[in-house]
Structures are given as C-alpha cells and as structure tokens.
C-alpha cells in the first residue's frame, strides 16, 4: 500500500473516531440546550455524510487501476485474440522446456560429448542426449495436439 493510500485511510479512521467522540459527548452531557444539541446533531450528520462521500471517492479513485489500456496494448490484445487468446499455462511451460532443450541442454551435452576423453563419460552423455531427445519428441507431440 502506498504512503498516500495509507494516509487517506488514517484520515478516515481519525474522522470516524471524532464522530464517535462527538456522539459520546452528546450522550454524556444531558443538560445541553436544544440549539446546542441540534447543532451537535447537524455536525454529526454532516460528518457521517462527508465520511461516506470520502470513502466512496476513495474506493472509486482506485477502482480503475489495472483497467486502463494504451493503444499498443489494445492492438496486441486484438492480435492475440485473433490467434485464440492467451495459451494455457501448460502450453507455455511446454514451449519453455522445448526451447531450453533445443538451445541449451542438447547443444551443451553434444559439445561435452565431443570433447570428453573418458569412454564411460561419453556413454553416459549419449544416454543423457537420448533421454533429452525423447523428451523433446514427447513435447513436440503434445504441442501438436493443441
């Protein structure tokens, strides 16, 4: 929460406390004249009305947050809508894993296999490459289903 928002909330709380004090004062002092009692009632009523207005404007002030769209955002939203909208999270994760396998893991394993001296390590790397390719193939199959 921002400092301004917190400050506004503090002011609303203080006004509520003042309104309660005013009500208590009116109830504790029964020997008030009729005009003073009426004046206190008016002050209390105006305070409550202004508090309600303040709370309404405060909530409506922040109601639009996150809804505004720049022209570029509107255009990209329309284009994405033509493509079917935002893809499901599963597809996004599959695409990320596919990219990771194609661009990082497989090239790294192939490079390491190319320059290793140990036959045992080379065999192990061959198995890892095979596993990575199988995983890549499964991912491609799942992506083709969508």
Region of residue 116 (left: phi > 0; alpha: psi -120 to 50; beta: else) = beta
In a 3-state reduction of DSSP, which class is residue 86?
Answer: coil
- Mean pLDDT (whole number) for 52-77: 77
> What was the pLDDT predicted at 138?
94
Average pLDDT, the chain: 84
- Confirm if 141 and 92 have CB atoms less than 8 A apart: no
- Give the domain ranges of the chain: 3-63, 86-145
> What was the pLDDT predicted at 1?
62
Is 93's pLDDT higher than 80?
yes
> What was the pLDDT predicted at 45?
82
Residue 120 makes CB contacts below 8 A (sequence gap 6+) with none
Is 102's pLDDT higher than 90?
yes
DSSP string, 91-143: HHHHHHHHHHIIIIIHHHHHHHHHT---HHHHHHHHHHHHHHHHHHHHHHHHH
Residue of 59 and 115 predicted with greater confidence:
115
Q: State how far Cα 123 lies from the chain centre.
A: 47
What are the φ/ψ torsions at residue 31 (nearest 5 degrees)?
A: -85, 25
pLDDT-derived band at 126 (thresholds 50, 70, 90) equals: very high
pLDDT per position as a tens digit, 3-31: 777 887 888 888 888 888 887 777 777 77
The verdict on pTM exceeding 0.75 is no
Residue of 56 and 66 predicted with greater confidence:
56
């Amino acid at each position: 929460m921002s400092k301004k928002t917190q400050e506004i909330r503090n002011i609303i709380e203080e006004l509520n406390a003042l309104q309660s004090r005013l009500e208590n004062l009116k109830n504790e002092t029964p020997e008030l004249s009729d005009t003073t009692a009426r004046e206190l009632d008016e002050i209390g009523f105006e305070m409550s009305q202004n508090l309600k207005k303040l709370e309404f404007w405060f909530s409506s002030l922040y109601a639009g947050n996150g809804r505004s769209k720049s022209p570029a955002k509107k255009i990209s939203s329309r284009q994405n809508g033509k493509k079917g909208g935002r893809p499901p999270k599963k597809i996004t994760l599959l695409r990320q894993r596919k990219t990771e396998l194609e661009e990082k893991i497989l090239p790294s394993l192939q490079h390491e296999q190319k320059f290793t001296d140990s036959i045992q390590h080379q065999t192990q790397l061959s198995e890892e490459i095979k596993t990575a390719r199988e995983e890549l193939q499964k991912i491609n199959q799942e992506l083709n289903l969508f």
